[in-house]
Amino acid sequence: MKGNKTAWFCTSCGAESSKWQGKCPACGEWNTMVEERIVSDDKKSRSLTPVKLKQTRTRPQLIHEIETSDEARIKMPSGELNRVLGGGLVPGSLVLIGGEPGIGKSTLVLQNILSIRSRKILYISGEESAKQLKMRADRIGRPNDNVYIVCETSLENIKDHIEDVDPGLVVVDSIQTIASDAIESVAGSVSQVRECAAQLLKYAKETSVPVLLIGHITKEGSIAGPKVLEHIVDAVLQFEGDRQNIYRILRSIKNRFGSTAELGVYEMCQRGLREVSNPSEMFLSQNDEELSGISIGVTMEGVRAFLIEVQALVSTAAYGTPQRSVTGFDSKRMNMLLAVLEKRVGFKLAAKDVFLNIAGGLKVNDPSLDLAVICAILSSNVDITIPNRICMAGEVGLSGEVRPVSRIEQRIREAEKLGMETIIIPRNNLKGIDTSGLGIKIVEVAKVEEAFRTLFA
């Protein structure tokens, strides 16, 4: 029959094919093609754009004729969320928030919209009932008469609800549960996710109403659904953290209106999520007892500097083959640093187990943490403690040199603010910077051996 034609779609990138293929011709992934019914010609999805909104035709403009102005952003109640978004929510933007089940995505969104009093908000839930949302709102303790709750999974019915409420902000929880009657496939399939996201994007752009989408993630930690979903939206925010841990981290994977290097930190409490304004206190141990294998590094996430504790454990290999275990740091980079310690400094670690952990559950990619990593490993190897009032920042090269890092003045001031007495930094990293007003001792080193002599002399 004409209305029962099928096609094959890639669950990774959304590419379409007329027949099954073991390898996707677009993204190269294996065994990702699934069969779905395609949209028939006599069924067209109704647009989410209100009928009263007239379509206007654009015309080409010369680049010097285009007027530029700052985007008028909607300030969210959470300062951490504003930072990750790049200063607030842009009108007409489509933002996707992803994370593991139970991590706190719905709680983060709900407690923010309950604090907005200036506009009507429509919360569309396809997973939870209205009573569950009411119980969560009561637990958060922020009543708001501007938030409308509707439990719906049909895209066409959502369009009717939007016309009735005429909201200033729309929340969809979650995009994988929404389905259009025009597409003959189940909710969460490639074609359904793509069509529903495209309709919501069209509505957001034509009405200047921001839309927040909540999405699932796969076992590998990526956003569920085709990769085209991430291409459609304006921003992708990842909510990370261990459900057994009270801390949550909000990252920006994609952001058309801001930086992707920003990071927000939250603490899960009984009454919702609490902002952590000073992450350094979270990542540093409150134990006054000094132990070997612990060093403090100064790292950067976006424009924010904070101190983080690096923990290392070096022991003799008990089973013949040495183990290399890393949590929160690049394992290949740790192996490189171990090779530098053995070749350039002379410490034999080839027959020893090395375990490395970044405290607080944070994943760090900043190379300025190299110096803290090798100092923690050496401290555990020789069983000598590093004073807890000493911190360090520096990238380590293959020849054992300590290379300069960016934003060194901001790192020094953060260390001083948290009561550090000494900071070890690369030599010549302070060119053009006035250090007369700093109340912290600065030690400059050019080689790894100089840092070791400073710490373990």
258-301 pLDDT, tens digit each = 888 788 889 888 888 998 877 777 777 766 678 899 999 999 88
DSSP letters spanning 351-404: TEEEEEEEGGG-----GGGHHHHHHHHHHHHHT-BPPTTEEE--EE-TTSBEE-
pLDDT of res. 143: 73
* pLDDT beyond 80 at 58: no
CATH of the domain spanning 73-277: 3.40.50.300
SS3 337: helix
Q: What is the DSSP letter of 312?
A: E
Mean pLDDT over all residues of the chain?
86
For the residues 235-257, what does the mean pLDDT come to?
85
Is the overall model pTM greater than 0.85, yes or no?
no
Please check if 100 is assigned to a binding site. yes
DSSP letters spanning 6-24: EEEEETTT--EESS--SB-
Please choose, from the candidates 250, 251, 213, 206, the residue with its C-alpha nearest in 3D space to the C-alpha of residue 232: 213
For residue 207, CA distances in Å to 34, 144, 359 come to: 35, 24, 45
Query: Where would I find the H helices in 236-389?
Result: 279-283, 331-340, 370-382
Task: Kindly list the domain boundaries of the chain, sorted by start residue.
Answer: 2-37, 73-277, 282-456
53 pLDDT band, cuts 50/70/90, is low
Q: Are 411 and 305 in contact (CB under 8 A)?
A: yes
* pLDDT beyond 50 at 252: yes
User: How many angstroms separate the CA atoms of 220 and 208, rounded?
Assistant: 34
State the distance between the two ends of the chain, measured CA to CA, in whole angstroms: 84
Please check if 293 is assigned to a binding site. no
For 276-351, list the strands marked E by DSSP: 294-301, 304-316, 324-327
CA torsion sign for 274, 275, 278, 283 is positive
The alpha carbon of 128 is separated from its chain's Cα centroid by a whole number of angstroms, namely: 25
Please check if 99 is assigned to a binding site. yes
322-347 pLDDT, tens digit each = 899 999 999 999 999 999 999 988 88
Q: What is the CA radius of gyration of the chain?
A: 26
333-391 pLDDT, tens digit each = 999 999 999 998 888 888 899 999 998 777 888 899 999 999 999 999 999 999 989 99
Please check if 28 is assigned to a binding site. no
pLDDT of res. 321: 84
* pLDDT beyond 50 at 1: no
Please check if 104 is assigned to a binding site. yes
73-124 pLDDT, tens digit each = 889 999 999 989 988 999 999 999 998 888 889 999 999 999 998 899 999 9
CATH of the domain spanning 282-456: 3.30.230.10
Please check if 399 is assigned to a binding site. no
Please check if 98 is assigned to a binding site. no
171-208 pLDDT, tens digit each = 999 898 999 988 878 888 888 888 899 999 999 999 99
Tokens in use for 127?
Answer: 């997973």
What letters, b where the CB count within 10 A reaches 16 and e where it falls short, cover 318-346?
A: eeeebeeebebbbeebbeebbebbeebee
Please choose, from the candidates 435, 424, 414, the residue with its C-alpha nearest in 3D space to the C-alpha of residue 393: 424
